[in-house]
Structure 1
Amino acid sequence: MRSTGSRYRVFTDRQWERIEPLLPSNSGLPGHPFGDNRRVVEGIAYRFRTGIPWRDLPREQFGPWQTVWKRHRRYAGDGTWDRVLTQILAEADTAGKIDWAVSIDATIARAHQHATNTPPVLSRTHGAGSNHKNLPWHEVEPPGHGIGRSRGGLTTKIHQAVGGNGRPLGMIVTGGQRNDGAMLTGMLAQIHGPRLGRGRPRTRPDAVLADRAYSTGVIRSQLRRRAIKAVIPDKRDQAAARKRRGSRGGRPSGLDAEAYKRRNVVERFFALAKQWRGIATRFDKLAITYRAGVTLCAILTWLRV
């Protein structure tokens, strides 16, 4: 049951009991433990759920807004939420709750004007000249802060992978102009099912379900090399070009139409995540703090199981 002030609460008591042991218990300084961690974390979730400015968080419910913001910034930068999600995924995989027919897609979030007035970064946050390609996504603040110009104006794009049951497995945040198919390699790298006991983490899904934006020869070859079934329809111009070439055009790639019907689970997750106003519209200046909000929403999706 929820305690007093439940309209401000996002976590149930049972959900909080699951993640509390996974969160840092102190500030990293001797003699400085975190006080009332649940109140602060509830403030982080409440802010993303409502989309209000950090300064407008109700002080009587969550304490000083500066404390809530600083905790969120720390958890975003040190990968706390990613570690919590990894642990939850490990428990789910052990219990057989992950469907490894993975759907991948992307959605656009309009960037509010308050998120677009930050100078662009010229290198990764830990210093100039660093190679950030092999670093975890939560540690990288991309150039332009993950905001790009697309048909909808200044936007951010969330690239998401979900299991066949519609529950999230990994995400990447980029500028809104970024091509969906170009991010497939990065998305596959985000799929990481660790084991609670002995054994290597699972990183290869049984199948990848995606729309025509991912229909390229490079992507199909990549999936074939990893023995991953591609459930991706051909683009119309690709099919027409193959027909024009006749026997030289090769065989159609083939599509499991019944399996493709299940691709809608990723769209359903986007619809669920965008019920949080702070995700549907990006108010965060930093890409890593916005991505942390999406990760927190993913954690809550799993905690409802």
Structure 2
Amino acid sequence: MTTQQRHQVFTDQLWERIEPLLPSNTGRRARPFENNRRIVEGMIYRYRAGVAWRDLPREHFGPWQTVWKRHRRYAADGTWDRVLAQILADADAAGDIDWNISVDGTINRAHQHGTNTRRPDQDTGGNIELKNLPEKVCEPAGHGIGRSRGGLTTKIHHPVDGRGRPLAIVVTDGQRHDGVILPQVLADIRVPRIGAGRARTRPDSVLGDRAYGPRANREHLHNRGIQAVILEKKDQVASRKKRGHSGGKPPAFDSIGYKNRSDVERSFAYVKQWRGLATRYDKLAVTNRAAVGLSAVLTWPRQ
């Protein structure tokens, strides 16, 4: 394997599929984008190796400033969301998506290079305005960094299909409870149809651990016609038993189907093979989320 091949992630077939979906900058009063493949490979290398942007090998990826600016622009305009949506649409048309999904969140430690920015001590769940950011990728207050027992942390929430492939991405501060964020995670699922028809937004079932067990989540899933395969919380079990017959029956639980919840854990294991995602170095949540989206784009063809 040559040195050049070591820095290449995209196969020719995959790049031919993705390249038409990327912005070209044509029609603007600026130069059209050049060397797009080399630039995107540079983005991947930066997160895979966990190096500083200025440490990107110039002989392989060109000026690091170009790679950073392109990544920042793709993060702001939702480029990787569109690419992932097209990949999901193709997979759905081929019947390749298992809609028995698993959800969970994983905490990542925030490096000091990603936290030396103004961060409100309170209200880390609202939105602040950043220039040129569309609504879907607006920057959260606190930049998605919060304080938990592990220090300054961020959290990635994933719903994955039955084969462990991401369907959506939500980045929040590290102390945010998984159960509270479930409606937002499910709302982020949107798989377009090839041809006529509305995008699919509703899975068949949701597999989750006890953190997703509050009654409000079960009611939310029931109202949308989604089967809940979620462990009941221990305090809920004790409360129900204490009330006797008036406590009602335990919620239905598919113990066989629940074994597939490990799919989401395997997905996070793949994400954290990229050192720049296992530890967050980005100041902005939108750029961090874009890198997770790029990782998801590569996950679908790989599996």
Which SS does the other structure have where 1:194 is aligned? coil
Amino acid at match of 1:201: A
Specify the alignment match of 1:170 in structure 2.
168
Aligned partner of residue 160 in structure 1, secondary structure: strand
Secondary structure at 1:11's aligned position in 2?
coil
Within the candidate set 156, 159, 178, 2:157 is matched to 159
Q: 1:251–1:194: structure 2 CA closer, same or farther, 3 Å change rule?
A: same
Q: Which amino acid aligns with 1:271?
A: A
2: distance between equivalents of 1:40 and 1:176? Answer: 30
In 2, the alpha carbon distance for the partners of 1:24 and 1:196 equals 21
Task: Pick closer, same or farther for the CA change 1:145–1:85 going to 2, 3 Å.
Answer: same
- Take 2:30 and 2:81, find their aligned partners in 1: how far apart are those partners? 26
Q: CA deviation at 1:27?
A: 6.2
1:75 matched to which residue of 2? Answer: 74
TM-score, scaled to structure 2 = 0.94
For 1:265-297, what per-residue CA distance to the aligned partner results, in whole angstroms no more than 9, with x for missing partners?
000000011000011000011100000000000
Q: Is the 8 A contact 2:130 2:139 kept in 1?
A: no
The residue identity in structure 2 corresponding to 1:283 is Y
Q: Secondary structure at the match of 2:168?
A: strand
Q: Structure 2: how far apart are the matches of 1:106 and 1:282?
A: 15
Distance 1:11 1:116 in 2: 31
Moved more, 245-254 or 112-121: 112-121
Find 2:243's aligned residue among 242, 245, 253: 245
Q: CA RMSD in A?
A: 1.7
Q: Residues 149 and 28 from structure 1, CA distance in 2 versus in 1: closer, same or farther, beyond 3 angstroms?
A: farther
Unaligned segments of structure 1, at least 5 residues:
none
Q: Identity, % of aligned pairs?
A: 62
1:254 is matched with which residue? 252
| Corresponding residue number in structure 1 for 2:293 | 295
Q: Which residue matches 1:135?
A: 135
- Opposite residue 249 of structure 2, the aligned amino acid is R
Cα distance in 2, alignment partners of residues 40 and 282 from structure 1: 21
Task: Tell me, yes or no, if structure 1 residue 101 matches structure 2 residue 100.
Answer: yes
Aligned length: 297
What do residues 83-136 of structure 1 show as CA deviations (whole Å, max 9, x unaligned)? 000000000000111000010000000000100001237852247xxxx9x931
Query: Aligned partners of 2:26 and 2:142: how far apart in 1?
Result: 30
What residue number does 2:123 align with?
A: none
Secondary structure at 1:174 match in 2: strand
Alpha-carbon distance between aligned partners in 2 of 1:214 and 1:123, rounded to the nearest angstrom: 24
The alpha carbon displacement at 1:17 in A equals: 1.1
Equivalent of 2:262 in 252, 258, 264 = 264
Structure 2 counterpart of 1:124: 128
Does 2:178 match 1:180?
yes
Equivalent-residue separation in structure 1 for 2:292 and 2:86 (angstroms) = 17
Alignment gaps of 5+ in structure 2: 121-125
The runs of at least 4 aligned residues of structure 1 exceeding 6 Å deviation read none
Instruction: Indicate the SS of the match to 2:206.
Output: strand
